Amino acid sequence: MGLCKKKKYLSEQELEQEFGKKWIWTALDTTTRLIVCFLIGDRTLEDARGFLKDLVSRTEEVPLFTSDELPHYADGLKELFHKLKPSKPTGLPGRPSNPEKLVDEDLDYATVHKTREKGRIVKVEKNVIFGSAERIEKRLEELPSNTINTSYVERSNLNWRIWDAHLTRKSLMFAKSIRWLKVKFAICIGFYNFIRPHETLSRGKDRVFRPKTPAMATGITDHQWTIRDFLGYHVSVN
């Protein structure tokens, strides 16, 4: 996604820090289809840390994490889920070695690597980064897809490109302000979570359509919101 302005109006520092290519980080719960959190920033370890910290703060237990092969995910998860193992004393003078970081045994994280040729996917590899492959398989049995994948996030990305012209690929549209881009995207997330019924969630075994949003599936609300409900909702800030 491009974030641009005419260069003659900006300093070199502004061009480097705020404008240019930006990355949208999103976390989706595959069971309820809820977008748990998002972040618009750079594809850096620093932003990965902030994004994952926000995600973990919204979960009551350690979920099964899946993503693409960007190494920042593994580095960020390792920082959030680890124990320190003290180094053994050597009996030599000087400062002792730093303790070793050991990843928590209950952390499960897997990645998807896609090989492309001429724009087409020819191979998909699934790798377990942290945790037990057997335990991950059992956890997947309780999830809708039953396999390691990133298809749910990729499908939601299509929604953002349809709903916000600034996110459309191969077009002349581009955002001019990070502030308003974040506001617009937050509205898209709210519309997705609270207003727009999800097709899979809304159809039961009898195939009758009963409108159900991700927020309803999660238990955040008991009804489908209207635009008026969403725009009129006030959040209290302590």
Confidence (pTM) = 0.84
Q: What pLDDT digit, counting tens, does each position of 79-131 carry?
A: 999 988 887 877 778 777 788 888 999 999 999 998 888 888 889 899 999 99
Burial class (CB in 10 A: 0-12, 13-18, 19+), 156: middle
Q: How confident is the model at residue 1 (pLDDT cuts 50, 70, 90)?
A: very low
Q: How many CB atoms lie within 10 A of CB 207?
A: 6
Q: Would you list the domain boundaries of the chain?
A: 2-90+98-196
The confidence band for 175, taking pLDDT boundaries of 50, 70 and 90, is: confident
How many Å apart are CA 54 and CA 36, to the nearest integer?
Answer: 9
pLDDT the model gives residue 95: 78
Tens digits of residue pLDDT in 63-79: 999 999 999 999 999 99
